[in-house]
């Protein structure tokens, strides 16, 4: 995937870049790593001192329960009702995953002052590999539009072609939920 380091277990450079910023702005409330896979971002969050909820359908994610502050669960991310109550998260990390029927619900789970860090594949990626079905590829500006619908403040948005470590077409975004003016540096 675009954004992965040389090793598939390395955190995405996009997430690694923005997670410390999220800690500075949103604090260290609980982080949700949605569709966490083997937990490359959950591990990074744990190292940064976050308490984290890691969700994936693959039972391999349960190994993440050994990390300090991590609760990992296996679940079908796409079927049935939302089963995580009304909890709101200080940070939500989503990479390499898109399921549009859950997108607005996920964005609504972001706490006031919270940060969304999202990176996934976009239209045009199919020529380089999987995923290639339109249901799994973002349309131009789609992530930005979803953030605006959810009244999030977008502070970073990119879409286009990455050459390394493998060619990929992606969209990635960092957005905040805040009723206060954004702090500038």
What is the DSSP code string of 76-130? -SSSSS--STT--EEEEEEES---HHHHHHHHHTEEEEEEEEEEEEBTTGGGTSS
Can you give the pLDDT at residue 124?
A: 86
Give the mean pLDDT of 91-103: 94
- With vertex at residue 10, the alpha carbon angle to CA 88 and CA 77, rounded to the nearest 5 degrees, is 40
Share of the chain above pLDDT 90, in %: 68
- Domain extent listing, the chain: 13-176
Overall pTM surpassing 0.95 (yes/no): no
Per-residue pLDDT reduced to its tens digit, 110-144: 999 999 999 999 998 988 889 888 889 999 999 99
What is the DSSP code string of 163-179? -SSS-EEEEEEEEE--S
Check residues 180 and 95 and name the one with the higher pLDDT: 95
* Two tokens, residue 7: 């090793």
Average pLDDT value over all residues in the chain:
89
Name the CATH code of domain 13-176 (choices 3.30.499.10, 3.40.225.10, 3.40.50.150, 3.40.50.300): 3.40.50.150
């Amino acid at each position: 995937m675009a954004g992965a380091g040389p090793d598939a277990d390395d955190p995405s450079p996009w997430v690694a870049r923005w997670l410390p910023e999220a800690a500075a702005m949103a604090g260290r409330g609980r982080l949700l790593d949605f569709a966490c896979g083997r937990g490359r971002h959950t591990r990074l969050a744990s190292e940064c001192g976050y308490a984290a909820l890691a969700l994936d359908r693959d039972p391999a994610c349960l190994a993440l329960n050994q990390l300090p502050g991590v609760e990992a669960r296996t679940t079908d991310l796409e079927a049935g009702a939302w089963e995580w109550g009304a909890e709101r998260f200080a940070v939500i990390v989503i990479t390499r995953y898109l399921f549009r029927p859950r997108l607005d619900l996920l964005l609504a789970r972001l706490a006031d002052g919270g940060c969304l860090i999202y990176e996934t594949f976009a239209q045009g990626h199919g020529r380089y590999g999987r995923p290639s079905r339109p249901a799994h590829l973002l349309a131009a500006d789609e992530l930005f539009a979803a953030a605006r619908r959810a009244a999030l403040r977008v502070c970073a948005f990119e879409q286009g072609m990455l050459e390394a470590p493998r060619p990929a077409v992606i969209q990635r975004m960092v957005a905040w939920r805040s009723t206060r003016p954004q702090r500038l540096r």
